[in-house]
Amino acid sequence: MKRILTILALSVCVAASADEGMWLLPLLQKFNSEAMRNIGCRLSAEDIYSINKTSLKDAIVQFGGGCTGEIISDEGLLVTNHHCGYSSIQRISTPEHNYLEDGFWALNKDMELPVPGLTVTFMRSMQDVTSAFKSVKTPEGFEAKRHEIEAAAEKDNPCCKARVTSFYNDNVYYLIVYKIYKDVRFVAAPPAALGKFGGETDNWMWPRHTCDFSMFRVYAGPDNQPAEYSPENRPLKPARSLKVSLKGVKEGDFTFIMGYPGRTQRFQTAAQLRMMLTRNRVSIDARTVRQGVMWEEMEKDPAVRLQYANKYAGSANGWKKWQGEELAFANLDIIGREEKREAELEKWIEAKSSRKKAYGGAIAEIEATIAEETPLITSLTLLYETLGIIEVLNPRRRDKDYNAEVDRSISKALIAHYLERVTPEERISCVSAGEDYLDRLYGEDPAAREELSKAIEDRFSLLAPKLRSCTEKISAASRRFTASLLDWEKGKASYPDANFTMRLTYGQVLPYSPKDGVSYWYWTTTDGLLQKEDPKNYEFRLPEQVKAPILAKDFGRWADSADGKLHCCFLSNNDITGGNSGSPIMDADGNLIGLAFDGNWESMSSDVCFEPDLQRCINVDIRYVLWMVEKVGGASNLIDEIQFVE
């Protein structure tokens, strides 16, 4: 353990490049401050992250189960992406009050709508506790020590939850203390025509014109501490809120993003990457079938569109990303480059006996185990993406989003896809009956539902021990592989894979050129909305209440001072991934200038390998957001809460 810690300390001693990296906040002073200052940052590390006083990290929250948000007023007002609030908005919508389709604007706090089950989480602190595990020898011992550390932290931090989280493939551990608020209310969102302008056609693409935001408010009990929903609760008095800049951006401006990136795979072998592509292709094919049926039914009926909007969006985002990832892997030779790196690493390991003892055989062990694991993973993925979805769809869930006719059509298509792809020895027999089985299932025959559930459970139970064994082998070998990389590249900047913990990424506002003869500018304007508008295409509708002020150039103080236009979105080279959606992108002084909401198509392999010339973060300009709030929503009450920097 001591050797590993020494390697980690050496590996991050050189300043990072300005574009790559998802950095741990407690290490900013030691490893990133100088590099950030060199490209324009005017903040200290203490301004960004401090456990002794308020800092910018106190304004950043984990929103729901997979996004980021930020507090923008001293009354707990929160902004995140529209697609982050999408499921919550859909859940509280009805055909009579379709907040997803029509948008919503709370013109006073009494109009704000509770969202059952929605939480926001503030990070209080991070502490390296790796040394506490140095004498632990067994998984049981590890769990006991983890529980001991977490319990002690929660005792010292009332109203908080503590988690010990691993980094660098279980080479380093941090204790992270969180405070979770459970009374979160819906405040504002544009109509879906703007919040999802461009739909799946524009998803992951540039140029973009999507007004991808929604607003919520965090409420607390009388003591300003977390509390379950109550009409007596009051808006949170946050430790910190972000100021908003109206200056706009120009090429080369320093930017940084704080948020909760989900998962990256930058410490994986070529064998692991090949398996990832194989698994994703199984999901792509199944979701193509499922989404085709959903979209056809959604186009027929507005009520069905509302019922299935979140289901479709949740499926389609990964579906398109994985296809882009396949393309980028081929175009950029990602696996070939990884194989070359591994060959060079193996030569370095073999050159010294101590390195052979510590790291030798790790890559080969991962490859051999992946060969065992791949058929298990593909089998379970096919099962999950087809019959597993049917099991979720079945009629025992009679909520407002249940539609027997649509669900049956989806189930029929997924069963056909499953039977076409599954091997004879793995086939679950009950679904082979086709229409007869569907008649039983959607006729609410309890035996039909139980038969499917048991068959799926039995299949999982059969494969689980084999899969668990493979996972344990890969985990142990990956730990050694990661340690070897850090040792081999000591003296170079390093950061751990994203794991949905708060990170900071810094860079600049930049255009890019995806291929010969093609160059993309770094911002878009509402001119593009008018150019893309297609009233016959659901994804490119432009409501009159939005179109009219655009045609009148009624942009007010939200217009750009240089050209008088309303800017929609802009590009930066910040290093982000899923989970960063809704993250604040800030200027050199820590003022909010926009919301990160997407990556670009040409660098869809970015979770594995950062591409400095291609990788761009797509951000919605905060001035576009606030223009929508004021001019379209008429919610000047929300504008009045915000502190601006002109």
Contacts of 615 (CB under 8 A, 6+ apart): 19, 573, 575, 599, 600, 603, 606
Task: Compute the distance between CA of residue 604 and CA of residue 619 in angstroms, rounded to an integer.
Answer: 16
Task: Compute the distance between CA of residue 457 and CA of residue 383 in angstroms, rounded to an integer.
Answer: 11
Task: Compute the distance between CA of residue 621 and CA of residue 635 in angstroms, rounded to an integer.
Answer: 18
Alpha helices, DSSP H only, in 333-445? Answer: 334-350, 353-359, 362-383, 389-393, 404-421, 435-442
Of 11, 33, 83, 379, catalytic? 83
Amino acid identity of residue 465, one-letter, is P
Q: Is 108 exposed, middle or buried, given 0-12, 13-18 or 19+ CB atoms closer than 10 A?
A: exposed
Task: Compute the distance between CA of residue 551 and CA of residue 567 in angstroms, rounded to an integer.
Answer: 14
CA 116 to mean position of chain CA atoms: 21
212 included as an active-site residue:
yes
Helix, strand or coil for residue 609? coil
CA 20 to mean position of chain CA atoms: 18
Task: Compute the distance between CA of residue 105 and CA of residue 121 in angstroms, rounded to an integer.
Answer: 24
CA 567 to mean position of chain CA atoms: 25
| 345 and 358 Cβ atoms separated by less than 8 Å | no
Selection from 641, 643, 645, 644 nearest residue 106 by Cα: 641
Selection from 207, 213, 254, 250 nearest residue 569 by Cα: 207
Q: Which two tokens stand for residue 373?
A: 């694991």
581 included as an active-site residue:
yes
Number of DSSP helices (H) and strands (E) in the chain, helices first? 22, 23
| 616 and 268 Cβ atoms separated by less than 8 Å | no
Task: Compute the distance between CA of residue 86 and CA of residue 100 in angstroms, rounded to an integer.
Answer: 7
Question: Residue 177: phi, psi to the nearest 5?
Answer: -105, 130
Contacts of 546 (CB under 8 A, 6+ apart): 190, 191, 193, 194, 529, 628, 632
Of 212, 487, 575, 587, catalytic? 212
Position of tokens 């007010």? 556
Amino acid identity of residue 443, one-letter, is G
Contacts of 645 (CB under 8 A, 6+ apart): 243, 244, 245, 246, 247, 589, 591
Q: Is 319 exposed, middle or buried, given 0-12, 13-18 or 19+ CB atoms closer than 10 A?
A: buried
Selection from 107, 55, 115 nearest residue 84 by Cα: 115
CB atoms within 10 A of CB 28: 20
Question: Residue 71: phi, psi to the nearest 5?
Answer: -85, 130
Tell me how long the chain is. 646
83 included as an active-site residue:
yes
Of 581, 603, 605, 606, catalytic? 581
Amino acid identity of residue 56, one-letter, is L
Which residues does the annotation mark as catalytic? Answer: 83, 212, 581
